[in-house]
Amino acid sequence: MIALLDARAPEVEPAWRALQARAAPSYFQSWGWIDTWLDCLDRAEAPRLLLWRDGARPLAAGFVGRRHLVRHRLVPSTALFLNTSGVPAHDELCVEHNELLCDPDARAPALADLVAAIPGEWDELTLPALRLDRFPGRALAEPVPGHRVLIDRESTAPWVDLARVRATDGGYLALLPANTRAQVRRAERGFGPLTIEVAADLDHAREIYAELVELHRARWRERGEPGAFADPWIDRFHRALITRRFPHGELQLVRVRAGARTVGCLYNLVLGDRVAFYQSGLGAFDDPHLKPGYVCHAEAIALNAAAGRATYDFLAGASRYKRSLATDERRLVWARVQRRRVRFAVEEELRAWKHRAARALDAARQLAARLGEA
């Protein structure tokens, strides 16, 4: 049986928790994150739960947001969004390692099953930041009659294998490339003796979070950009998440200091033995060799390795520091399942035309530059 339920229907939480216990998803699909997210959304923005059941037993579930879009001022679309709201400002929470929670002992669903299960009229299903080892990420190559699957973008997701850290003589730094290792050690010498704080209670967690936000905003203002906490809704969500979930051991707030000065603060998500770095606030230092991010992550990785955890995930992004500090990488994919509509074919042709025009303009500029040099 398949049902599309109000997000606050009484059967939603027990079904989700039952599947979470069996599926072992990322923190972004934990009930702690989901419950806080649902409470922070306006009623009109709240998604609904698509739930497969065998009698009373939940087999698979995912939240589905629904929005009416107009792209390029010309192309209307009734769009659905997996485990996100479809409201751009609120989806800046950046859910990653996304999936439909599935009972691993049940029959593996097909992508066509998911598409057929969603009731009502809609034009496209947006699937952000999918894990490729879980459904529906692993099914993107499957045929879906009457639809096409588009890959909008891909990203690496660097991470650190903490078991390797524990098993390696010299610990974490010994696993890094020589140049990165030298940069971390030079920065540590430059900062001098370091003090590592891990929030021990809720008040301490709130204090570190407040400094993290202040440092983060200051750094992004220097770049002329707003940063991750510019929208008050985002800040409210995280303050609510800390209040609700820090007491359950699901959040890790870390502050690194050199003397009385803060080197940086980290905000990490914890589920079981997996840690995901979510956001940071770093101090500003004139000496370019003082790399506060490198130092803070090195300390947090050593800390979590010593605690017996399994992974330290930098989440999506090809930033140089992430790839330099990681031992391994995964891949995430942003995809859409799109019904075959004439307007989408026109949109695709316009996109291809713009791409060809941009290439032609670039080639013309290069030719003009060469002629000018001659």
Domains of the chain: 2-145 (3.40.630), 159-331 (3.40.630.30)
Weakly modelled stretches of the chain, pLDDT under 50: none
Q: Give the closest residue to 28 by CA, choosing from 276, 348, 344, 361.
A: 276
Q: Which tokens in the block code for residue 157?
A: 């997701």
- Nearest-angstrom CA–CA distance, 317 and 331: 10
* Residues with Cβ within 8 Å of residue 72, at least 6 apart in sequence: 347, 350
pLDDT computed for residue 263 by the predictor: 98
Torsional sign, CA 96, 102, 104, 107: negative
Q: Give the closest residue to 49 by CA, choosing from 20, 8, 93.
A: 8
Q: Which tokens in the block code for residue 181?
A: 């290792």
pLDDT computed for residue 374 by the predictor: 58
pLDDT computed for residue 360 by the predictor: 80
Question: To 10 degrees, what angle do helices 31-40 and 232-245 make?
Answer: 140
Report pTM.
0.92
Bridging pattern class, strands 57-71 and 75-82: antiparallel
Structure-token match 């049986």, residue found? 1
Structure-token match 């998604």, residue found? 47
